Amino acid sequence: MTLISIAAACLLAGAVFALVLRSNVQRGLASVVSQAAATVCVLWVVIPVLGGAPELHASLNWSYPVETVAAHLDALGAFFLSWSLPMTLLGTIYALGYLRPHFSSRHAGVHFVLLNLTSLSFLTIYTVESAFVFLLGWEIAAVAAWLLVIWDHRNQKVRFAGFNYLVSTHVGLFILVAAFMTISSRTGSMDFQSFAPFLQTPGALRDVTFVLLMLSFALKSAFFPFHTWLPRAHSAAPAHVSALMSGVIHKAGLFGMLRFILLLGKPEPWMGWFLIVLGWLSALVGVLYTTAQRDLKRLLGYSSTENVGIAGVGFGMGCLGLSTDQPALVALGFTGGILHILNHAFFKCLLFYAAGAVYRSAHTVDLERLGGLARRMPWTSGFFLVGGLASSALPPFNGFVSELLLFSGLLGSSADAGMPRVMLVSAASVMAFVGGASALAMTRAYGMTFLGGPRDSSIHTEGEVGLAMRIPMLLHTLGVVVLGVWPASGLLLIGHAVGLFTGGAIPSQVTSALTSISGLGALLLLVFGGLVLLRLALTRGMTARQHVTWACGYTGVTPRMQYTSTSFSLQFGVMFDAVLVRLRRQQLPQEPFPRAQGHLHTHCVDAVERRLFEVMGEGDTLVARTAGQIPESTRVSFAAGLVVIVGLLALLLTGTG
């Protein structure tokens, strides 16, 4: 564990240099170098643990009330560290290119400090056993992410999105503190290992504590209906911050779920069903909103809710298998869920980086205005296409691998006959629908952004972005392809982490499925590569003929006559009007030959967030009205005083008892 401490020291030193150096380029390079050194130290420690080496333990004496801080690095923590720090490093490299236009006018040192602190929070969350220090790392990650989101703090919408995120993440923190305090009141300790006896003892209080834990972690990872902060934050934040939040930072919530499932020992069946229902609701609602967004980054934010829901379904399957003694269901559920965490990190970071490149070049991510960028940004177009195919769970890319394992568990013969079997098959049908809707959403996002022509004549693209932004996209693309074509590489990373749940090696059902996937992926790549080479050979030396598109005799064709992002998915969206709430702002023509220019703008708002704000507004109005009546109405004054007296007596009697 000494190297973990050295990694923390490197990150802190890099943060100091990022503040004191004179130029923004030097500050960014200091952050990159320190993160690279920390990443090397961490990988030196975690790779042996992932390979089966003994778990690492350490302790540190601290002042009251923490006293002793226990550190424990097992295969689960090593798995999360193995990609969290490298991806944060790539995000920092991307930031050097993305923030460069602001280097002459702003001090970016604090931004790079926050990126270092984000990596430092991972070292804390994934290694400590003390609830106090765990919460400290949790809070560092939350506050650092908030400050990273409000980079453009002069914009009121950005400030509101940051405030929304800050409030939401602290609601989750309060729930988590309540769960920890409940456990500590029964165990007399804030050490995770001492939590196990309480969590393994059936009882109403244990069940309530489990729900509190899962809800706090679900809010951190943006499960439905706790997701409303996510699309706003992603839309407002710089692209690398959105990528790290979605792909890396909020995976801490999924880590928390897995860590406390381990402490449960043998969960009860309802716990597995709870996670399955929470997961498929998140996947379903997330993908529906993905198909209706016109802001590219907001679209990707809802896609993150979809994908954490898919991972949650895997965790629920694993818990159900543990409770009913079905090893195959345990292995397929946890292998698919944990592998999907890694796969999502790769393709979602890639998609956000590509969206950031679009914004840096075209200065907008509004799908209603974009189009035709593939010709000006061929690298970014290719990267986004690969990420979109992976997000749609299409072979031979990595998203297909993990989702196929989950389908194998949901549809496998290991499930009990009767209602459990029906519910698992129903969950599989929902996931199949989610996969199809995700393919629609990604087709829409890619087509509206990169194909056709610009839908707004005022959009002027500056061309392809620089190497600092393309290198992280390239490395994530390689990860997406390698994990899809050679899924055994992912199994090398997660094998011993899954073994913590299965009690040993991964069953043959999983390894055989991955072997067949590997062959299919390699075959598809060969066929696709052969077709590309054949096309190049056949068209060598040929000049493509160009002519106007036939428009049924109409010669006044304009770019606005293309499909818009709204019209592309409208027929799909109207089937779900009860969920997808659309706002319209319009000025329609009133005469046969209108003199005034008309317009029509539509925007799909989040129904949960909209209703939440309505309830808050109604509650505020009710409180104000009641407060105004107290000095004016004798009955209201008497009732309010009586309520206060009864409340005080209840507190007094409870305390005396």
| Residue 628 pLDDT exceeds 80 | no
Across 243-253, average pLDDT: 93
Count of Cβ atoms closer than 10 Å to residue 648 Cβ = 10
* HSE of 411, CA atoms in CB hemisphere, 13 A: 11
Half-sphere exposure of 516 (CA within 13 A, CB side): 8
- In the numeric block, the tokens 């109207």 are attached to 574
User: Three-state SS for 600?
Assistant: strand
Handedness of CA 402, 403, 406, 412 (dihedral sign): negative
Average pLDDT over residues 423-432: 89
- pLDDT of residue 620 exceeding 70, the answer is no
Per-residue pLDDT band for 134 (boundaries 50, 70, 90) equals very high
Query: Residue 471's pLDDT band (boundaries 50, 70, 90)?
Result: very high
β-strand partners of 73: 56
Query: Would you say residue 390 has pLDDT above 80?
Result: yes
**Rounded (10°) angle between helices 378-391 and 327-362:** 150
Q: Return left, alpha or beta for 552; rule: phi > 0 is left, psi -120 to 50 is alpha, else beta.
A: left
In this predicted structure, the answer to whether residue 511 has a pLDDT above a threshold of 70 is yes
**Residue 427, pLDDT score:** 87
* Residue with more model confidence, 477 or 613: 477
Integer Cα distance of 177 and 136 in angstroms: 11
Beta carbons of 386 and 477 less than 8 angstroms apart: yes
Residues of the chain above pLDDT 70, percent: 90
The tally of CA atoms less than 13 A away on the side-chain side of residue 612 is: 12
Half-sphere exposure of 127 (CA within 13 A, CB side): 28
Residue 472, both tokens = 């992280």
Which residue from 606, 586, 607 is spatially nearest to 596, judged by alpha carbons? 586
Prediction pTM value: 0.90
Considering only residues 359 and 580, tell me which one the structure prediction assigns the higher pLDDT. Answer: 359
Burial of 373 (0-12, 13-18, 19+ CB in 10 A): buried
For 67: left if phi > 0, alpha if psi spans -120 to 50, otherwise beta; the answer is left
So what's the pLDDT on residue 66? 65
Tokens read off for 36: 């690279």
**What's the rounded Cα separation, in Å, for the pair 353 and 172?**
28
Lowest mean pLDDT among 26-35, 262-271, 280-289, 509-518: 509-518
User: Residue 137's Cα: distance from chain center in Å?
Assistant: 19
Query: Where do the domains of the chain lie?
Result: 1-129, 267-499+510-534, 614-656
Q: Determine contact, residues 83/90, Cβ cutoff 8 Å.
A: no
pLDDT at residue 554, as a whole number: 67
Torsion angle in degrees (nearest 10) through CA of 551, 555, 559, 561: -50
Q: How many angstroms separate the first and last alpha carbons of the chain?
A: 48
- Range 371-380 average pLDDT: 91
pLDDT at residue 58, rounded to an integer: 86
Q: Would you state the pLDDT for residue 528?
A: 82
Predicted local confidence at residue 657, as pLDDT: 46
Phi, then psi, of 605 in degrees rounded to 5? -100, 160
Average pLDDT, the chain: 86
pLDDT for 635 beyond 70: no
Question: How far apart (Å, rounded) are the C-alpha atoms in residues 380 and 376?
Answer: 9
Contact 342, 493 (CB under 8 A): yes
Where is pLDDT greater, at 386 or 227?
Answer: 386
Count of residues making up the chain: 657
Distance CA 591, CA 477 (A): 53
Mean pLDDT of 97-109: 90
Mean predicted confidence (pLDDT) in 425-447: 92
The pLDDT of residue 503 is: 82
Mean pLDDT of 359-371: 90
User: What's the rounded mean pLDDT across residues 402-429?
Assistant: 82
Query: What is the mean pLDDT of the segment spanning 208-219?
Result: 94
Asked whether the bond before 559 is cis by omega within 30 degrees of 0, the reply is: no
Do the beta carbons of residue 83 and residue 476 sit within 8 Å? Answer: no
- Given phi > 0 = left and psi -120 to 50 = alpha, else beta, which region is 265? left
pLDDT tens digit string along 12-64?
999 999 999 989 999 999 999 999 999 999 999 999 999 888 888 888 777 76
Contacts by residues 187-196 (CB-CB < 8 Å, ≥ 24 positions apart): 190/66, 190/130, 190/131, 190/132, 191/70, 191/129, 191/130, 191/131, 192/129, 192/130, 192/131, 192/134, 192/259, 192/263, 193/70, 193/129, 195/260, 195/263, 196/263, 196/265
pLDDT bin (cut points 50, 70, 90) of residue 149 is very high
Per-residue CA distances from 596 to 549, 557, 587, 590 (Å): 30, 21, 9, 9
Contact (Cβ atoms closer than 8 angstroms) between residue 270 and residue 211: no
Closest by alpha carbon to 123, among 75, 87, 71, 169? 71
Element (H, E) at 71: strand 68-73
- Contacts with 650 (C-beta within 8 Å, 6 or more apart), sequence order: none
